[in-house]
Amino acid sequence: MTGGGVAYGPISSYSRVQILHLLFEADAQHGRAERGRPELTIGELCEATGLHANTVREHLQRLIDGGYVIPSIEHRTTRGRPRTLYAAATGEPEASSPVARDKVAAAARRGDMIRRIMDEGESELGRDATYQLDALIDHLEESGFEPVIDEDALTVELTPCPHVASRPEHRPVLCQVHLGLMQGVLTQAGGPLAADCVRAAARPDECTVQLRRTAA
Assess contact for 63 and 97: CB atoms under 8 A: no
pLDDT value, residue 105: 97
Is the per-residue pLDDT at 33 higher than 50? no
Gap between the Cα atoms of 113 and 109, Å rounded: 6
The predicted model gives 90-100 an average pLDDT of 92
Between 21 and 2, the higher pLDDT residue? 21
Per-residue pLDDT tens digits for 143-171:
889 999 999 999 999 999 888 888 889 98
Q: What is the residue extent of each domain of the chain?
A: 2-213
Q: Which fold has domain 2-213?
A: Arc Repressor Mutant, subunit A (1.10.10)
Per-residue pLDDT tens digits for 99-146:
999 999 999 999 999 999 998 877 789 999 999 999 999 999 998 899
pLDDT value, residue 2: 39
Q: In what order do the strands lie in the sheet with 40-41?
A: 40-41, 84-88, 69-73
Residue 194 three-state SS: strand
Gap between the Cα atoms of 98 and 1, Å rounded: 29
**Model's pTM, two decimal places?**
0.89
Assess contact for 184 and 89: CB atoms under 8 A: yes
